Amino acid sequence: MANYARVVVESDLLQLDREFDFLVPESLSQSVRVGQRVRFQLGRAKKLASGFISSLPLESSFATSELFEIVDLEPVVTEEIFKLARQVANRQAVAVGEILQQAVVEHMPRIPKPVSEPIAEVVVELPDIPGVTSLPKRSAILTSARSLTHAGLRYPDWCWLFLRAAVEAIESGKSAILIVPERDQISQLAALFSSMGLKDLISTWLPGAKKSDRFTNFHRALIQERSIVIGSRSAVYAPVRDLGLIALLDDGDDSLREQGSPYTHAREIALMRATDDVKLLFAANYRSLEIQRLVEIGYLKDLDIKLPPARISYSPPAQRLDAASFKLMRDGLEVGPVLVLIPRKGNSATVYCAGCDQRLVCNNCKGPIWENEKGEYRCRVCQGISHSCAACGSNKLRRGRTGSTRTAAEFGKAFPGITISEFTSDTKQTAVKKSKHLVLATPGSAPRVQQGYSALLILDSDVWLAMPQLRSEQTAIRDWMEAIELLSDTGRAHIAGVDQDLGQALSLGQHRALATNAFREVNSLSLPPAARIATLEGIQDTISQALELATKAGATVLRSNLSESASALIRFSYSQGAEVSASLKALALKTNARLVGANKRRGLKIVMDDPGAL
């Protein structure tokens, strides 16, 4: 029988980032438990607040009001998830309640909860994975971008790697969480597990899934003795029992990072959740700088899958389509579909003024103008339509670099009688023919073909490499390797317009060397991921106080703007992270508690480790 309950409020407000004590009414005292979701009156608010019971103290000097009701009779937050949420909140300088909002599904009283069923003995015949004889406790595995065929099943090598790691965890009485960035990869991995007789053990956490499906999957993970969760970034919080494995694919994919608050990345949460008795596996067909850092400091053991590499050729910067590119497409179209990867969609990635020769920008927000597939000149920022040059007023415009739509039209003239399809983030995927089908796609949009593409042509490499960001080369390599993985066993790839150093390293599969050199450069400059960064926004006085606190904790100011709408960028080491985050969070709490000035701007916005800040 409990008389008091300590509760964490389910809210992203920093003012509520603390535990509140409540009296437990006699009617609830027999059924109250740690981890339950409850409702209660908070302050003078008329609407009831919700939260989670973190403990049941024997005494309390602060409890004055009673809990109103127990929402979830069964606990929905485990002790492990409570601890993880606090770690993540402290690292990102946000409220614990905000993390719990992401980690725990909404209550849905009309959806029946699943019932735990006994799990049959797992017997799975696994293929040998060349180069990976055993899986260490902490590993970074460089995959080959090739496929393995076993018992008539053809899947990318990382699928078999994840299958083996998950089966080992299940056989030892543990559960597994497998995180992959894209929906089709989740479906692909789930199909392999089902075909191997593991259907009853898996649950798929698809991005954008219905609330009812999320509710069912969440509660199945809570009650099932052993389970395998396959999902996107939210799956890292899955409340599985006896977690024994976290495996994450393609950690450089942007979809693994929350684009809004709390700006977390699934890779960092996986690192925090992988305690001493949990295996941790990172796999990709390239090497990100974050994983390279962990390899170099000895935290991760470096392994690779030793399969024959894909056949990759390259040509130096010259004309957009050279003879080698045309020959590759002609030969490939005779035996299978051909994929052409282009960095940008639409008719033209840029538009220029024919009068003053300046690049066209939006008259309203000064954002860059591009020509979409409908021939409209639109702003990339505000989506407004532009008809004239903002600088000289001329309405005579000319196109810049060719996008996917105009490229498809040009290829239609060069390859008569060939089916040509364009796939972008806005396109619904359709079936691809077995031959004489030319597929043009932007990164991440190409449909998967069962037997793979016979050829791959990567165009406009200089656009990738010239992107205004610190990691343009790493982004390009990731996009290219994602497409190379879609090749058939005999398929060939050609990268047009790269210099010899990069082209030769890619054709020889020297991803470790590329990552080592890139990490050495950022390390010499003390830039991420060799160090951590944080971006700050607020009014002038708040940013000044934030910089003073951060520098006292050891941070370095990289950039500051102390105008009316002030901002700053700071850098600090991993060992300084806890103190910097705590000091900034305390200031944010203090400034959030009051309105500032007539315009009512308030608080301090903190974004930890924003890759776009540099």
Name, in order, each residue with C-beta under 8 angstroms of 129's C-beta and a sequence gap of 6 or more.
148, 157, 160, 161, 164, 305
pLDDT above 90 covers a percentage of the chain that reads 71
pTM > 0.85: yes or no: yes
* Mean pLDDT in residue range 257-286: 96
* Mean pLDDT in residue range 526-540: 94
Would you put residue 93 in left (φ > 0), alpha (ψ -120 to 50) or beta? left
Residue 598 has pLDDT above 50, yes or no: no
Structural domain includes residue 223: yes
Residue 544 has pLDDT above 70, yes or no: yes
Tally helices (H) and strands (E) across the chain.
15, 28
Residues 461-518: tens digit of each pLDDT: 988 998 878 889 999 999 999 999 999 999 999 999 999 999 999 999 999 999 999 9
Residue 600 has pLDDT above 80, yes or no: no
Closest CA to 487 of 524, 533, 534, 439: 439
| 3-class DSSP assignment, residue 306 | coil
Residue 213 has pLDDT above 90, yes or no: yes
The encoded tokens of residue 418 equal 């060939």
Whether residue 539 is found in the same domain as residue 470: no
Residue 120: how many other CB atoms lie within 10 Å: 9
Distance CA(279)–CA(290), nearest Å, equals 18
Residue 257: how many other CB atoms lie within 10 Å: 19
Whether residue 334 is found in the same domain as residue 280: no
Torsion angle, alpha carbons of 511, 514, 516, 521, to 10 = -160
DSSP string, 246-298: EEEE-TT-GGGB-SSTT--BHHHHHHHH--TTSEEEEEESS--HHHHHHHHTT
Whether residue 226 is found in the same domain as residue 331: no
Whether residue 203 is found in the same domain as residue 233: yes
The encoded tokens of residue 357 equal 């020769």
Question: Structural domain tally of the chain?
Answer: 4
State the CATH number of the domain containing residue 430. Answer: 3.40.50.300
Residues 306-357: tens digit of each pLDDT: 999 899 999 998 888 888 898 999 999 999 999 999 998 877 777 778 777 7
370 or 130, higher pLDDT: 130
pLDDT at res. 442: 93
Whether residue 179 is found in the same domain as residue 38: no
Closest CA to 252 of 58, 98, 443: 443
Judge whether 208 and 201 are in contact, CB under 8 Å.
no
Q: Which of 474, 508, 542 is the last residue of a domain?
A: 508
Average pLDDT value for the chain: 91
Q: Could you list the residue range(s) of the whole structural domain that residue 64 is in?
A: 4-103
Element (H, E) at 412: helix 404-414
Residues 173-187: tens digit of each pLDDT: 999 999 999 999 999
Judge whether 359 and 350 are in contact, CB under 8 Å.
yes
pLDDT band for position 602 (50/70/90)?
Answer: low
Whether residue 333 is found in the same domain as residue 477: yes
249 or 407, higher pLDDT: 249
The encoded tokens of residue 47 equal 């609407």
